[in-house]
Amino acid sequence: GQNIDQPTEMTATEGAIVQINCTYQTSGFNGLFWYQQHAGEAPTFLSYNVLDGLEEKGRFSSFLSRSKGYSYLLLKELQMKDSASYLCFVSSNTGKLIFGQGTTLQVKP
């Protein structure tokens, strides 16, 4: 079957670092995406990994290990506005997107 797992909820403190993990089992792999979604809004692009390793973009970094079926999103210098849901999903070989349940991150002062 196809499955993506990520924690349902996380809490962190403003200014801290938080890591959101995502594990996947899919039939085919054409890249893994992280998107941010604020309540009632459209998901917006954060990162894309198709090769193993770390992709860094400002305060956000994403890591991928294809052999382990594992990715994480690292958020540094947390700000209150980072409170949102973080969606991990895989693009399969057929083009279908397979989502995890999303991680709701709450940043506290």
Q: Return residues touching another protein (CB under 8 A).
A: 4, 8, 30-31, 33, 35, 40-45, 48, 50, 87, 89, 91, 94-102, 104
| CB 101 to another protein: min, Å | 4
| CB 61 to another protein: min, Å | 17
Give residues with Cβ within 8 angstroms of 79, minimum separation 6. 14, 107
Q: Are 24 and 90 a contacting pair, CB within 8 Å?
A: yes
Of the pair 17, 106, the CB lying nearest another protein is at: 106
Question: Where do the H-state alpha helices sit in the chain?
Answer: none
Of the pair 42, 81, the CB lying nearest another protein is at: 42
Of the pair 69, 100, the CB lying nearest another protein is at: 100
| CB 63 to another protein: min, Å | 18
The CA-based angle 63-21-86, given to 5 degrees, is 95
φ, ψ for residue 37, nearest 5 deg: -135, 115
